[in-house]
Amino acid sequence: MKIILNNSILRKTLGPFNDIGFVPTMGGIHEGHISLIEKSIKSNKKTLVSIFVNPKQFNDIKDFKSYPSNIKNDLTILKKIKKLDFIYIPKFKDIYEDKKKHK
């Protein structure tokens, strides 16, 4: 399992593959996530799980700041899943980067 921390590494890593399952999460990995990940592993050659708490999904910044996040715990759980290929943990700028750069 490879942990990817930015877009450039993500592009380089995933470039050769065309059958990738993607399970986006906001962390707090639980049985529902695990079920989706296991289905993706069975259905695709590679599986990518993301952990990104998106501040734009919150109406109130207080809710975003108080959202529970435990990346260590999430990684511990994900590392136990056999055949999970990639974990993507982007920063805000990776998700909302300037789109002009890639035209």
Better pLDDT: 103 or 68: 68
Q: Is the distance from CB of 34 to CB of 77 less than 8 angstroms?
A: yes
Distance CA 44, CA 18 (A): 9
Mean pLDDT across 8-35: 95
Sign of the C-alpha dihedral computed for residues 94, 95, 98 and 100 taken in this order:
positive
- Cβ atoms of 70 and 51 closer than 8 Å: no
Q: pTM for the whole thing? A: 0.87
Is there a contact between 41 and 86 (Cβ–Cβ < 8 Å)? Answer: no
pLDDT digits (tens, 9 = 90+) for 65-78: 999 899 999 999 99
Give residues with Cβ within 8 angstroms of 53, minimum separation 6.
Answer: 26, 27, 64, 67, 69
- How far from 92 is each of 11, 22, 56, CA to CA, in Å? 17, 19, 10
Q: What is the mean pLDDT of residues 19-40?
A: 97
Annotated active-site residue in 33, 49, 87, 90: 33
Q: Is 30 a catalytic residue?
A: no
pLDDT (mean) for 84-98:
91
